[in-house]
Chains A and B, each alone.
Chain A
Amino acid sequence: MKSSKETIPQLFEAALSGERRSLGKLLTLVERGGETADDVAGLAHRKAGNTHVIGITGAPGSGKSTLTGRLLELFSQTGHNSAVLAVDPSSPLTGGAILGDRIRMDDLTDENSFIRSMATRGHSGGLALAVPAAIQLFDAVGYKPVIIETVGVGQVEVDVAGAADTTVVVVTPGMGDAVQANKAGLLEVADIFVVNKSDRPGANDARRDLDLMLDLGHISGLEEKTGYRPPIIMANSLEGTGSQEIIEAIENHANHLKSSGSIKVRQDQRTLMEIQNRVELLIGTTAKETLSTEFGKAMINAVLNRETSPAQAAKSIVNSLLND
């Protein structure tokens, strides 16, 4: 174990004063989870609430990291200190991971930006706690905006990206036809669409399919309800085209959130989700512990002997937790 001599409040103070290494260490603590992570998250939470969170998501290889690098470059040029949390999957077999997002961003960044790679570490519950805590740390330290980049596969990743203030969904030509575009899921959480690799054949088809999907939202009444139609931006992140439009679209969306009051709805939603995730994790952990007690073993045996059903046993266990 790497022994750091500083206490958590000391590290936090140092991070607030701009010490990058202390922020790096705090992020590690948050990632490891447990009581220490809760302490760090608690400190961060008190100071947070000032940043704009941008989620960038899409299929593997769609160009999210390259695009993120372009946005960092532009934010930096306009005097913004932006932070990126780049989430990549851990191997379910070994727990290892190759975190390769920095490689797409490094050329474009400077001391104004802070990039942190995070592996999913195989436990979705942990990720659901670590990501909001890391965002709040960046927020507390003063990074504006905070970008969270995740692969758009798996419910947790979609939830995490969807919990941002502005969610950018990156698609590439050849992702499927209009029926695909109308399926529920990732595309629904988008506030901005980016058709990346727009120099490739089929880019205009992808744009048209997305446009048609949004038209259907107009007909079904969804657009009227939200008062917002997500823009579709053509981009080529390798060349850097489209990046400026994306920044403008993010600003437009942020303004829409403010003027319509939905920023409050989103923040409330995010807070609710964070508390809910924590409650579920706490109860889940206690429930697992209960299963290995005498009472738990008796319940398992009762189910095995067909004296009670799994659902009944689960209810009894939860009731025993609540009565404790």
Chain B
Amino acid sequence: MSDQQYRVILAKLGLDGHDRGIKVVARILRDAGMEVIYLGLRQTTGSIIAAAEEEDADAIGLSMHNAGHLTLGPKMTASLNDARLDIPLIIGGIVPDEDIEELLESGVAAVLGPGASAEEVVSTVRDAISARDET
């Protein structure tokens, strides 16, 4: 059991029904001792922000499988900035290598692809949270 109980929001933004991956990630994080607040499908930036405030989330994970990441990723970071919420955003799913840089530049903390192992998923989330806490 980890001494620090991380609370992570997992959601899919907009019209994207591929939720197999996000369910696997939810389970990986749960089994690593984190509390996952599972929002599931068809969320909006507004509903994610509201959940992040009410749940006092330590990180937000967005699952993207519809090639919308370059539109929705920056939109989400912009919404977080507007709300003055300093919470790391991690994007997982199908993101071509050449798009990763652009996402990171827009303020996304990390990008996880289909090949990521359970350990990688957990350490990426942990690192993103501790990087934010150090600033």
Name A residues whose Cβ lies closer than 8 Å to a Cβ of B: 1-3, 20-21, 23-25, 27-28, 32, 90-91, 94-100, 102-103, 106, 111, 114-117, 119, 121-122
Measured between alpha carbons, how far is A246 from B38 in the docked complex, in Å?
27
Q: Top 6 nearest A-B pairs by Cβ distance?
A: A96-B30, A95-B1, A24-B56, A28-B56, A103-B40, A21-B53
Chain B nearest CB, measured from A38 CB (Å)? 18
Measured between alpha carbons, how far is A319 from B43 in the docked complex, in Å?
58
Measured between alpha carbons, how far is A116 from B55 in the docked complex, in Å?
6
Residue of A1, A2, A32 with most chain B CB atoms under a 10 A cut-off:
A2
Give chain B residues whose Cβ lies under 8 Å from the Cβ of A2.
58, 133
Give chain B residues whose Cβ lies under 8 Å from the Cβ of A24.
53-56
Chain B residue, CB-CB nearest to A29: B56
Measured between alpha carbons, how far is A236 from B7 in the docked complex, in Å?
32
Chain B nearest CB, measured from A88 CB (Å)? 9
Q: Which of A1, A94, A115, A121 contacts B54 (CB 8 A)?
A: A115
A97 x B85 contact (CB < 8 A)? no
Interface string of B1-22 (1 = CB under 8 A from A): 1101101000000000000000
Give chain A residues whose Cβ lies under 8 Å from the Cβ of B5.
32, 95, 119, 121
Give chain B residues whose Cβ lies under 8 Å from the Cβ of A103.
38-40
Give chain A residues whose Cβ lies under 8 Å from the Cβ of B112.
none
Dominant secondary structure at the B interface: mixed
B133 x A3 contact (CB < 8 A)? yes
Give chain B residues whose Cβ lies under 8 Å from the Cβ of A97.
30, 35-36
B29 within 8 A of A: yes
Measured between alpha carbons, how far is A324 from B33 in the docked complex, in Å?
39
B40 x A99 contact (CB < 8 A)? no
B36 x A95 contact (CB < 8 A)? no
Measured between alpha carbons, how far is A96 from B36 in the docked complex, in Å?
8
Chain A nearest CB, measured from B93 CB (Å)? 19
B47 within 8 A of A: yes
Measured between alpha carbons, how far is A122 from B35 in the docked complex, in Å?
12
B133 x A106 contact (CB < 8 A)? no
Measured between alpha carbons, how far is A117 from B36 in the docked complex, in Å?
10
Q: A2-B133, A96-B31 given as contacts; is B56 within 8 A of A106 (CB)?
A: no
B51 within 8 A of A: yes
Interface string of B47-88 (1 = CB under 8 A from A): 100110111101000000000000000000000000001000
B36 x A98 contact (CB < 8 A)? yes
Give chain A residues whose Cβ lies under 8 Å from the Cβ of B108.
none
B104 within 8 A of A: no
A119 x B133 contact (CB < 8 A)? no
B118 within 8 A of A: no
13 contacts between A and B (CB under 8 A): A2-B58, A20-B53, A21-B56, A21-B85, A91-B30, A95-B1, A96-B29, A96-B35, A97-B36, A98-B30, A111-B50, A119-B35, A121-B5
List residues 89-131 of chain B with CB under 8 A from any CB of chain A.
none
B35 x A106 contact (CB < 8 A)? no
Measured between alpha carbons, how far is A116 from B9 in the docked complex, in Å?
12
A106 x B30 contact (CB < 8 A)? no
Give chain B residues whose Cβ lies under 8 Å from the Cβ of A106.
39, 43, 47, 51
Chain A nearest CB, measured from B130 CB (Å)? 10
Measured between alpha carbons, how far is A119 from B37 in the docked complex, in Å?
10
A99 x B58 contact (CB < 8 A)? no
List 6 extra interface pairs beyond A1-B4, A23-B54, A28-B7, CB under 8 A. A21-B56, A24-B56, A25-B56, A91-B31, A103-B39, A115-B51
Chain B residue, CB-CB nearest to A114: B54
Measured between alpha carbons, how far is A32 from B34 in the docked complex, in Å?
14
Give chain A residues whose Cβ lies under 8 Å from the Cβ of B43.
106
